[in-house]
Structure 1
């Protein structure tokens, strides 16, 4: 009876130990934990096919967040995980590339034509400047005549108070008879008395005709060139 009792106790104790050991795996297979290794300068303790990642460093644009008390440790990350991150980043860039290209093409198309309504002083100034220099102004929105100096600055064009033949003259609202929208034309001649002769449309008695008028330099008058 003593032998049987001892045998039964041993069997039950063995089952308890086995259950405790197996119990950690009953819920199914989980992802292998990250392997933490001590940091040794110039030496990697990771296995083949793994990559060392120090606390706070990033890989593929993703940061490895580790508690501050582990600053002397490194994490071993599988190389295929790093490759997957880089692949995902490359895919995002590939998706954005067509949008950037379409936007650039749209800007180029706008710069390759006269986008202003025919008969407006802005249409004539843009067309005349293109006839003289082979290029249209690149700004097409927020581009009333009085706004041209600001838009020219934004696009890196030269804005000056000194006239040159072939430059665009801009009159601000109300200056020398300009309407509240301002007025633009192209300088055809620079005279010696601080005045210029400029050609333009939508000025004078016949707004649809191209006319030449004398304008004076001074406040509210600027000149634009590329």
Structure 2
């Protein structure tokens, strides 16, 4: 717990041996309002493990109904009998439904034409004609030629093929960047600690060497006291 003003509690939640980042959870016992810095509940509507842990700390026996969204239950399909065929030419049809329907039709048409050279020619001409009309409406559309056929009739590799051994470059996510920064800070702290420890030990040895002319028993007692002090630090 990092804050308790009576009406709201704030916690830092993490797994000590696994997690580097600490997530902040805000909880209001009066109305069971809870939020987390991982944004899982605000973006997807799903309670994260950090929030569930805080609910468990406050002895909340069951998840509040306001955090059980209908879209994640079986009730979401009630009363959703959508007739896709009647919405094909409707301007208000959602893009995802239209893409699925038109892709299914084109796939059926292409697969049916694969064994006929004349039918395949019709499909190629239809694609070229549709591309010109679409470009006249929305602008240039890039369609990459995959090199499906060559002069000798063989199948060629696509022009965008990566070289052998070359890895696919992926952009780092937000969580990955935070973990990298945390590891860098931890590594720098360990280096500073080791460097400081080495400097202190060298100073101790130098001081002991200067006291070589003193009584041997006194030097041994002094050395034990210095080592004990270092062990406590």
TM-score between both structures, scaled by the size of structure 1: 0.22
More helix by share: 2
1 or 2 for the larger relative contact order (CA 8 Å, sep ≥6)? 1
Q: Work out which of the two has the higher radius of gyration on C-alpha atoms and give 1 or 2.
A: 1
